[in-house]
Amino acid sequence: MSDPVLLTADAVERVYRLGRDIEVPALRGVSFAVDRGEYVAIVGSSGSGKSTLLNLLGVLDRPTSGQVRYDGRDVREMGDTDLAALRNRRIGFVFQSFHLLPRLTAVDNVALPLIYRPGTPRSRRDAAVRALTQVGLADRLEHRPTELSGGQQQRVAIARALVTDPALILADEPTGNLDSVTGLDIMTLLEQLQSERGTALVVITHEHQIAQRAQRTIELRDGLVVSEAPA
């Protein structure tokens, strides 16, 4: 039987240096694991270390000490090429501010991560169309971000995260720029896709009502895990 654990953080610390003499500890020994297909929320107020942890889990940064492991492999042992491949093939990102390219259509935004993989422009477009159809935007393929509502832009971002068929989706405050009704729709969509596809979902949020929807909640405070509990 294969190892059910997808991702492990083990005694992770991240210290930022300001000048020569000042050190600011953002994470101070964080440990937890995420299983394949699991739905986890990481909750905490501003300054708790959520953004720093997101960067480490998304291998956008490396820990000062401790280990972040994917499939048992320590990311500190990976070179830049391997890290880029991990981000492109194993991790899908959904951001609060959508991060869509304004000059590209919805379908071209979604197809963008696939340019780093073998395939033809037609195959990339077909995959993007399928992803957009799955998030309910089959009739918005040629619309640019400025022609879409906030909720529709976030659906495009979700389709972009899904198009590479990742093992993990990292959602950073995915409802932060949306009204409460649209935010609920987006969370319901993410949860439905997570369940149907068996993709692990980690949601970073400061909202406890969002965190309570997950199978498990990890609370950060001042760079430490202060509680971890099933929903």
Task: Give the C-alpha separation, 153 to 142, whole Å.
Answer: 13
pLDDT score at 116: 84
What is the length of the chain? 231
CA 159 to chain centre: 12
Per-residue pLDDT tens over the stretch 196-215:
999 999 999 999 899 999 99
Mean pLDDT over 113-125 rounds to 91
Task: Give the C-alpha separation, 105 to 215, whole Å.
Answer: 35
pLDDT band at 21 (very low <50, low <70, confident <90, very high): confident
pLDDT at 231 over 70: no
CATH number for 5-225: choose from 3.40.50.2000, 3.40.50.1460, 3.90.180.10, 3.40.50.300.
3.40.50.300
The percentage of the chain sitting over the pLDDT mark of 90, rounded to a whole number, equals 86
pLDDT score at 229: 85
Per-residue pLDDT tens over the stretch 55-66:
999 999 999 999
Residue 28 near residue 13, CB atoms below 8 Å: yes
pLDDT band at 137 (very low <50, low <70, confident <90, very high): very high
pLDDT band at 1 (very low <50, low <70, confident <90, very high): very low
pLDDT score at 2: 67
pLDDT band at 230 (very low <50, low <70, confident <90, very high): confident
Residue ranges per structural domain of the chain: 5-225
Residue 143 backbone phi and psi in degrees, to 5: -85, 140
- E strands, the chain, where? 5-18, 22-35, 39-43, 65-70, 73-74, 91-94, 168-172, 200-205, 216-221, 224-230
Per-residue pLDDT tens over the stretch 142-169:
999 999 999 999 999 999 999 999 999 9
Where is pLDDT greater, at 45 or 143?
143
Mean pLDDT over 23-36 rounds to 95
The percentage of the chain sitting over the pLDDT mark of 70, rounded to a whole number, equals 99
